[in-house]
Copies of this chain bind each other. A is one copy, B any other.
Amino acid sequence: MSNEFTSKGYNSPKTKIGQQKMDVLISSAEELFAKNGFYDTSVADICKHAQTAVGTFYIYFKTKTDVYRCLLDKYQRAIKEHLDESIKGCTTRYEKERQGIKAFVKYALQNPTAYNVIWGSLSIDEKLFHDYYVSFAASYARSLSKDAEGVSGTDYTSLAYLLMGISNFLGLRAIFENMTDEQIDEMIDSTIMPALSSGFIKA
């Protein structure tokens, strides 16, 4: 059976049952990568864990790395959906950042393995890591440019990296200190948002 793979290296199933089979393969891969590492997990291991024939694997993926790419896309989608949900009803850029950063930090705290998967891609294939953040930054920059009246400065790409860096590192802190939701809200309301709106390093 020959397949037309997308540039992403994986095929999206056309049927619901196909999607379910693919999802089981991705979840199995995620579990085994976390437990044994990417290099010590084989396609055969993933299929065995998923109780799926090896031939089925190759309907959806070209290589093991493509499963990883698919996993990264899954995380990016989940994070974006979570952020979109959090800013529903926000009418200003300020309010979007306030709710969005809070939502990101809480997501990070509840899904700490997201860092292992996303940052772990660096040691598997730097292109995976590159593509993940370049696409995330482009989408963030577009969103900032749409709210231009709420943003000082027009270099939206730099500002996107700046904001992504802040969210990611506050997420780390929340994990390190096992912060409560109240502590996260307090940190963002009292320190982060004033810093973003008025600055904090005196010129």
Contact = CB atoms under 8 A, between A and B. Distances in A.
Given A93-B202, A162-B169, A176 B123 contact: no
Nearest to A150: B202
Interface string A118-131: 01101100000010
A115 B116 CA distance: 13
Contact of A122 (B40, B115, B157, B164): B115
A195 interface: yes
Contact of A116 (B122, B158, B161, B201): B122
Contacts of A161: 166, 169-170, 172-173
A66 B1 CA distance: 49
Nearest to A97: B201
A185 to B, nearest CB: 12
A40 to B, nearest CB: 7
Contact of A196 (B134, B190, B201): B201
A191 B93 CA distance: 18
Contact of A198 (B115, B134, B137, B152): B152
Interface of A: 37, 39-40, 92-94, 97, 115-116, 119-120, 122-123, 130, 133-134, 137, 149-153, 155, 157-159, 161-162, 164-170, 172-173, 176, 187, 190-203
